[in-house]
Structure 1
Amino acid sequence: MVKLSVVIVNYNVCYFLEQTLLSVRRAVEKLAQPVEVFVVDNNSVDGSVAMVQARFPEVQLIANRDNPGFSKANNQALRRATGQYRLLLNPDTVVEEDTFRACCDFMDAHPDCGGLGVKMLDGQGQFLPESKRALPTPEVAFYKMFGLARLMPKSRTFGRYHLGYLSPEDTHEVEVLSGAFMMLRQTALNQIGLLDEDYFMYGEDIDLSHRLRQGGWKNYYFPGTRIIHYKGESTKRTSVNYVFVFYRAMVIFARKHFAPGRAGLFSLLINAAIWLRAGAAVLERLAVRVAPLLLDAGLIWAGMYVLKSYWENNHKFVPGDYPPQYMTVAVPAYILVWLTSAYLSGAYDPPVKTSRVVRGVFLGTLLISAASNFLDAWRFSKALIILGGAWAVAAIVGRHLLAHFIKYRDLRLSEHRQKTIAIVGSGPESRRVRHLLEAAGVQARVIGHVSVAPKPADTLVPPAAIPLPVPPPKSRWASCGSWPISSASTRSMN
């Protein structure tokens, strides 16, 4: 009898999928009981299907010719699965070698467990709070969507969404599990049904968790094993599209499970949150783009004020102050021309180059000087225009230098920074990775590799000791887009 069926739905994350399947392969070896693995590909265009066929022949592959959504794709595999337990696993995760064994043992010991989630960490090793959640009732959703849950994460009232008052180091009965890793009991699925296909993406895990509890089963958060979840690889969570898709799924859930009055209140809150979050996402992206320009504008305006005061007191041909409109109208117009010209000249494109800043501001200065010849009422001082242009260059370059120094502790603006990498894997796989990095022109310094072969201690081998191989025939390699696949991993040191 098959103990476990693993179901992975993939969409254009070929590299992450390969790492997931490699970790699954190791975890299957530790379980010592029959396991079947399904990959459902939703019409990826990055070579995912070819990679799975070439590198993982043990996987049962379902290659869709369209994208039917997450729920439908999972159900395709669940209907074919035969395992006592069914695991829904994201393609951007990495499981520990004993994850399957530990989870199956837990479910064997807890016959009331219908669904099981584990401790999830992000790519930096930080605990992901969505590992354990409460049901998003109107009250819980309100606290989450309007920031109270973030302000008071450990409050039993305001922090219920992520159950922040429960220790992530202890096992707990919870209401909602994450679809990134959700182990399900087949007898429970037979009773409550599969995933609701009204959900295209997001919300289906909340719906399934709730139906498990309605059916008399319990959901558990189990920290006895951990996984890495590189969350949001298919959909960036700061995008407007994510905001709309996620919160619309919440509306579907409310209409399905709440009484009409509560569903109406929930829908009202959700729609308010959609527009607030969508607006915030747009403003955030705009602020990231505009903030450097605004900062430079402020620096230039301050410098122009100092230059004006100095020029009035020491060099102005006709003694007296410039009219107020010089600083309130003329100087802002100068700044707009300088920054626009600098922006169009690539002064804000990485890597930052001083020559682009100089070229842009110089062209802007010429334009300002030429325009002032035709506007007698706004002709103040050619000298201040030239000095202002020089200050604009100094302000923009200086601000870039300061930011660069704070981040890198040096002043080499245009230098392409190399990453320092150690490769973890077997000898042949490490050589493959080094070859791929060189073939792709990746700027990286490989300091060596850590062998995974059984030894008294892992050894850091200098790169000189690992000769680069001759590129193998292309027929031996599966490809994720333009990147050949490797089962060795790399670790950046900076």
Structure 2
Amino acid sequence: MKLSVVILNYNVRYFLHQCIVSVQRAVTNIDAEIIVIDNASPDDSCQMVKELFPEITLIENKENVGFSKANNQAVAVAKGEYVCILNPDTAVAEGTFEKCLGISESSKKIGAVGVYLLDGTGNFLPESKRNIPTPWVSLLKILGLTKKYYATRVSKNATAPVPVLVGAFMFLKRSVYNQVGGFDEDYFMYGEDIDLSYKIEQAGYNNYYIGATETLHYKGESTQKDAAYLDRFYGAMQIFYKKHFNSNVLLNASVNTGVSLAKRVKGSSSEKRKKQDLTPKKAIVLTENLQLLKSLSETIGIPLTASSKTIFQETELTNTLFIFDVDYMPYRQIFMVMRKFKNQDNQFRIRPPGCNFIIGSDKSDEKGSVLVF
């Protein structure tokens, strides 16, 4: 078997549904398996998988064991030559895995591979490519200065080596994953992907970022640095430094001061960052399904019209709700439209194939919304 796609789920039933469907479409030409591991979700995620995707390997944990341990559990039963660690709140474009395989098989020195991640608003997520977070770089990030934290020297559309990839999408040889010991289970939240990326490079491999293919990731890195986030982030970095850097009293005092300062100023800065919630004036449904159009018309309380793929030729569409029918338009085209019409007070929703719901997210620090019709 060529590829094992591992999806770690917690309490996002509808997003998991779309993620599985997108992966199935993306592995059409690849000998692949999908493994869903669930960290004791209180919703009906597991029941949904059993009923709709009985062919998928499902691992049900009785408690939330965290990101690292759960992914290690799944990789332990994987059969693929390659594994892809994937968040459940993602949707993969058709052709993505082929591009990752192409890069990975071009050299024995390729470690993990990541891709262009966009959020639910169509904007690029900078955590797609990052630098090693040295103590100084992490302190700057805590204070809101992120230029050195992200790999800004590499264009978001380029294909190039980068030190650190994000755990929402990490593609690599299973043998490399096992060689470096997989995810370090000392981390529960934050830092696991940084640690794994670092271990891969220390083992003599090069991690690569591919800007030529996209994956939608609804819950991007939070831009609201609240006290809980800062504590978790700093705690993860402390683990990282103890394992890989020489930690000292001066360093700890400096970063502690930075965390305290960031907590003190977070209130006013986070208020400034809040965007006013806008209600679109109209909705466009990209579909040929008249029954879908009728169902949505009865559910959505704004003027709604159908459109074809000629929408690519439009130059200006503002304050509009776009609803994409994946039975009509593939994910790679949907992502193109989202990027084209981003930042114009537009909102985007996707209806996965054959489903009675649409999902989306209007902020990169929220995991999104679901509308069942």
| TM-score greater than 0.5 by the shorter chain | yes
Match of 2:283 among 421, 439, 450: 421
Match of 2:150 among 162, 182, 199: 162
Q: For 2:55 and 2:183, how far apart are their aligned partners in 1?
A: 25
| 1:314-358 Cα shifts (integer Å, max 9, x gaps) | xxxxxxxxxxxxxxxxxxxxxxxxxxxxxxxxxxxxxxxxxxxxx
Q: For 2:234 and 2:10, how far apart are their aligned partners in 1?
A: 21
> Counterpart of 2:88 in 1: which secondary structure?
coil
Question: How many residues are treated as equivalent by the alignment?
Answer: 320
Q: Which amino acid aligns with 1:80?
A: V
Q: Does 1:26 align with 2:13?
A: no
Q: Please state how far the C-alpha of 1:53 moved relative to its aligned partner.
A: 1.9
Q: Which amino acid aligns with 2:227?
A: V
Q: Please state how far the C-alpha of 1:194 moved relative to its aligned partner.
A: 1.3
Q: Does 1:229 align with 2:217?
A: yes
Match of 1:217 among 205, 214, 221: 205
Q: For 1:237 and 1:431, how far apart are their aligned partners in 2?
A: 40
Partner of 2:311: none
Q: 1:160 to 1:82 in 2, by over 3 A?
A: same
Q: Please state how far the C-alpha of 1:205 moved relative to its aligned partner.
A: 0.2
What percent identity do the matched residue pairs reach? 42
Q: For 1:433 and 1:246, how far apart are their aligned partners in 2?
A: 44
CA contact (8 A) 1:251 1:270 kept: no
Which 10-residue stretch deviates more, 441-450 or 66-75? 441-450
Match of 2:141 among 119, 144, 161: 144
Q: For 1:20 and 1:5, how far apart are their aligned partners in 2?
A: 14
Partner of 2:355: 486
Partner of 2:246: 259
Q: Does 1:191 align with 2:179?
A: yes
Q: Please state how far the C-alpha of 1:54 moved relative to its aligned partner.
A: 2.0
Q: Please state how far the C-alpha of 1:283 moved relative to its aligned partner.
A: 4.4
Gaps of 5+ in 1: 150-158, 290-403, 409-416, 456-484
Partner of 2:304: 446
User: More relative contact order in 1 or in 2 (CA 8 Å, sep 6+)?
Assistant: 2
Q: Does 1:89 align with 2:86?
A: yes
Q: Does 1:54 align with 2:42?
A: no
| 1:95-145 Cα shifts (integer Å, max 9, x gaps) | 110001111111111221111111111222222111111101122223323
Instruction: Tell me the C-alpha RMSD between the 2 structures.
Output: 3.1
Partner of 2:348: none
Q: Does 1:243 align with 2:230?
A: yes
Partner of 1:314: none
Q: 1:419 to 1:40 in 2, by over 3 A?
A: farther
Q: 1:239 to 1:144 in 2, by over 3 A?
A: closer
Q: For 2:280 and 2:163, how far apart are their aligned partners in 1?
A: 46
> Counterpart of 2:242 in 1: which secondary structure?
helix
> Counterpart of 1:62 in 2: which secondary structure?
strand
Q: For 2:136 and 2:85, how far apart are their aligned partners in 1?
A: 29
Partner of 1:319: none
Q: For 1:58 and 1:425, how far apart are their aligned partners in 2?
A: 29
Q: For 1:88 and 1:437, how far apart are their aligned partners in 2?
A: 37
CA contact (8 A) 1:123 1:228 kept: yes
CA contact (8 A) 1:432 1:486 kept: no
Q: For 1:446 and 1:143, how far apart are their aligned partners in 2?
A: 46
Q: Please state how far the C-alpha of 1:167 moved relative to its aligned partner.
A: 1.6
Q: For 2:273 and 2:163, how far apart are their aligned partners in 1?
A: 37
Q: 1:242 to 1:59 in 2, by over 3 A?
A: farther
CA contact (8 A) 2:143 2:262 kept: no
Gaps of 5+ in 2: 309-324, 330-353, 362-373
| 1:265-306 Cα shifts (integer Å, max 9, x gaps) | 4433432333233333344567899xxxxxxxxxxxxxxxxx
Q: Please state how far the C-alpha of 1:425 moved relative to its aligned partner.
A: 5.3
Q: Please state how far the C-alpha of 1:436 moved relative to its aligned partner.
A: 7.3
Q: 1:15 to 1:165 in 2, by over 3 A?
A: same
Partner of 2:13: 14
CA contact (8 A) 1:422 1:491 kept: no
Q: For 2:302 and 2:46, how far apart are their aligned partners in 1?
A: 29
Q: 1:453 to 1:282 in 2, by over 3 A?
A: closer
More helix by share: 1
Q: Please state how far the C-alpha of 1:90 moved relative to its aligned partner.
A: 1.0
Q: 1:54 to 1:281 in 2, by over 3 A?
A: farther
More strand by share: 2
Q: 1:265 to 1:226 in 2, by over 3 A?
A: farther
Specify the structure having the higher radius of gyration (Cα). 1
CA contact (8 A) 1:3 1:85 kept: yes
CA contact (8 A) 2:287 2:306 kept: no
Q: For 1:433 and 1:11, how far apart are their aligned partners in 2?
A: 31
CA contact (8 A) 1:424 1:488 kept: no
Q: For 2:58 and 2:293, how far apart are their aligned partners in 1?
A: 26
Q: For 1:418 and 1:122, how far apart are their aligned partners in 2?
A: 19
Match of 2:262 among 266, 274, 277: 277
